[in-house]
């Protein structure tokens, strides 16, 4: 057993939260940090070139390869659940869309027992982490490690989408991450100087330049607990089982799928479930693995009568040219994720903040890179933000190598169906505005013949896809809440010297993509771990639509 495998803080996972914590916990030079990561390097164009985003997400080299159990409300379909197995975790394989979440999301967290995580408390951490290029003055950070930019939006279809939203009566917003989330406007990206600006590039690489930070490649099997205190992590590395010792604390940041799995394998979780799987119970926490949430989305696709879309560059020759231009000059279409226009809107009167998200892309193509249109086309990814459906992550056995059982229970709440039908009809309304008159051809998907509730439901059942935002499986709450897993300082309840900080602690899913809130979680958790007074709360008031009680727009 190597004595070098010891540090003050041992972090499991080099993803969004893990990388941020490695950077902050080692910043003052007083503490040593070891980061355990099973995945390999994130070097190379497949990860670093933004427009190649659909490739690493589908590669066993970079992805854990999880998928859901057959989903009973989706005709038994099993949906893929990509999680990054690489330096930078899921921030190295995600769509690079940057969304903080809405102010009310975090206020809801605080109401649910995550005291100190209201919007006033988290806003200073979002500012600390950001280096915003073009965001709203006074609301955004400008000196943080995480570069956030807008796309060039040269394609005329981006402008048409935003203008169509305005014509349909919706708000416009120039910065949905500023004071006003609601409306149509530019989408933000974690891209810098033409490269994917992952948590690895923003946080981990700078941290690893310090003498007090080490990255160890290994498979985390379980947390070692002695007398109700975490003492280290059992890992498998180079065919041997080894112990990485933590002098102060072990911190789990292994994703909303792997974090609850590691807790349960360590004896922390629903006691009966642990016993059934032959795991000794150290702390009976029934909430571990429960409360699983995600965002679902549909692609609404329309033919374009003008050859201005990305469908013209999906051929091998064009792709080679784009790749070469990116490789040599870090310019051109290779430098964007193509999500450059967005919208957050409310579904109906009486909803006080947005509950529908749009990503717009000037092409008709799937996440897996397959072209959907025979001709030119454009599409909106649309989905509700706050489904009431909940799922779980459970063990199949006590074998750490066995993948956990993931059940999302997608579309299990009746409101989900009404919400999605509304999303489809609303998108048709937007695509039907005069701004799209110069471009609009036939509807590709669902197709103009799909009109009745029953037909729309059939389309939803067969085509709805995960937006890859799983979270909530180790919910943060009050210490006396039997279903909470961590307290508001990210301490695992019932075990000393053990914290957990990643998207699994979210009490409820936030609006939009989860990379931003996950990094913020790592930032804020770092201050708690170091025993620092949290950053002073903000007194800035976010914009809420004055017409919210009477209109959806």
Q: Binding site for FAD: residue ranges?
A: 8-37, 86, 94-97
What is the enclosing helix (H) or strand (E) of 146? strand 146-150
HSE (side-chain half, CA atoms, 13 Å) at 502: 31
Distance of CA 466 to the CA centre of its chain: 11
What single DSSP character describes residue 543? Answer: P
CB atoms inside a 10 Å sphere around CB 43: 11
Three-state SS sequence of 485-540:
CECCCCEECCCECEEECCHHHCCCCCCCCCHHHHHHHHHHHHHHHCCCCCCCCCCC
Q: Are strands 6-12 and 240-252 parallel, antiparallel or unpaired?
A: parallel
Could you count the other beta carbons within 10 Å of the beta carbon of residue 115? 16
* Other beta carbons within 10 Å of 425: 11
Token pair in block for residue 422:
């509304």
Q: Is 102 left (phi over 0), alpha (psi -120 to 50) or beta?
A: beta
CA of 490: how far to CAs of 180, 252, 390, 521, 535, in Å?
29, 10, 22, 9, 16
Residues marked as binding? 8-37, 86, 94-97
Q: Which residues contact 139 (CB under 8 A, 6 or more apart)?
A: 175, 177, 178, 179, 540
Nearest to 506, CA basis, from 541, 479, 471, 539: 471
Count of alpha carbons within 13 Å of 339, Cβ hemisphere only? 28
Q: Contacts for 268-273 with beta carbons within 8 Å, 24 or more apart?
A: 268/223, 268/225, 268/492, 268/494, 268/495, 268/498, 273/394, 273/395
Beta strand 240-252 pairing with 498-500: parallel
Name the catalytic one among 376, 413, 469, 528. Answer: 469
- From the list 114, 384, 415, 409, the residue with the least C-alpha distance to 290 is 409
- Terminal-residue alpha carbon distance, the chain: 63
Any idea what the Cα angle at residue 395 is, between residues 392 and 399, rounded to 5°? Answer: 155
Q: Is 469 known to be catalytic?
A: yes
Q: Which residue has the tokens 């051809």?
A: 441
Determine contact, residues 116/534, Cβ cutoff 8 Å: yes
Strands 219-226 and 356-361: unpaired
Helix (DSSP H) and strand (DSSP E) numbers for the chain: 13, 25
Give Cα separations from 233 to 102, 131, 204, 263, 425 (angstroms). Answer: 36, 34, 20, 11, 51
Distance CA 217, CA 237 (A): 7
Q: Which residues are catalytic?
A: 469
């Amino acid at each position: 057993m190597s004595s070098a495998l010891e540090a003050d803080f041992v972090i499991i996972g080099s993803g969004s939260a893990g990388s941020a914590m490695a950077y902050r916990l080692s910043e003052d030079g007083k503490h040593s940090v070891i980061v355990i990561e099973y995945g390999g390097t994130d070097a190379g164009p497949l990860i670093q070139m933004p427009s190649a985003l659909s490739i690493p997400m589908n590669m066993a080299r970079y992805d854990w390869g999880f998928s859901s159990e057959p989903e009973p409300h989706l005709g038994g379909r099993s949906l893929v659940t990509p999680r990054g197995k690489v330096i930078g975790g899921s921030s190295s394989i995600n769509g690079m869309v940057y969304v903080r979440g809405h102010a009310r999301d975090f206020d809801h967290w605080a109401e649910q027992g995550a005291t100190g995580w209201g919007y006033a408390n988290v806003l200073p951490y979002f500012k600390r982490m950001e280096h915003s290029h073009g965001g709203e003055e006074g609301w955004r950070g400008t000196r943080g490690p995480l570069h956030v930019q807008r796309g060039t939006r040269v394609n005329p279809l981006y402008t048409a989408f935003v203008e169509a939203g305005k014509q349909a009566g919706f708000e416009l917003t120039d910065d949905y991450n500023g004071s006003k989330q609601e409306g149509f406007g530019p989408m933000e990206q974690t891209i810098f100087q033409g490269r994917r600006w992952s948590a690895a590039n923003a946080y981990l690489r700078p941290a690893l330049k310090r003498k007090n930070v080490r990255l160890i490649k290994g498979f985390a099997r379980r947390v070692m607990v002695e007398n109700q205190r975490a003492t280290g992590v059992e890992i498998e590395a180079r065919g041997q089982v080894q112990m990485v010792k933590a002098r102060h604390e072990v911190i789990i940041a292994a994703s909303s799928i792997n974090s609850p799995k590691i807790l349960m394998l360590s004896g922390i979780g629903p006691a009966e479930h642990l016993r059934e799987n032959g795991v000794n119970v150290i702390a009976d926490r029934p909430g571990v693995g429960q409360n699983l949430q995600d965002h679902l989305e549909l692609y609404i696709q329309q033919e374009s009568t003008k050859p201005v879309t990305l469908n013209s560059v999906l051929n091998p020759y064009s792709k080679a040219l784009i790749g070469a231009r990116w490789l040599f000059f870090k310019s051109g279409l290779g430098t964007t994720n193509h999500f450059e226009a967005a919208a957050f809107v409310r579904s109906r009167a009486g909803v006080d903040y947005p509950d529908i998200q749009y990503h717009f892309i000037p092409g008709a193509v799937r996440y897996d890179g397959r072209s959907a249109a025979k001709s030119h086309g454009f599409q909106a990814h649309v989905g509700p933000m706050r489904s009431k459906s909940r799922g779980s992550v459970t063990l199949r056995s006590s074998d750490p190598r066995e993948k956990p059982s993931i059940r999302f229970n997608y579309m299990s709440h009746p409101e989900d169906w009404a919400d999605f039908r509304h999303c489809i009809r609303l998108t048709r309304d937007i695509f039907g505005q005069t701004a799209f008159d110069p471009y609009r051809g036939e509807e590709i998907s669902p197709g103009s013949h799909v009109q009745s509730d029953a037909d729309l439901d059939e389309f939803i059942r067969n085509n709805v896809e995960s937006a890859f935002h799983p979270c909530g499986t180790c919910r943060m709450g009050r210490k006396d809440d039997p279903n909470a897993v961590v307290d508001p300082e990210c301490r695992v309840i019932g075990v000393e010297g053990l914290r957990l900080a990643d998207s699994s602690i979210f009490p409820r899913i936030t609006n939009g993509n989860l990379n931003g809130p996950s990094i913020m979680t790592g930032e804020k958790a770092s201050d708690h771990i170091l025993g620092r007074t949290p950053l002073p709360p903000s007194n800035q008031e976010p914009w809420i639509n004055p017409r919210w009680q009477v209109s959806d727009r």
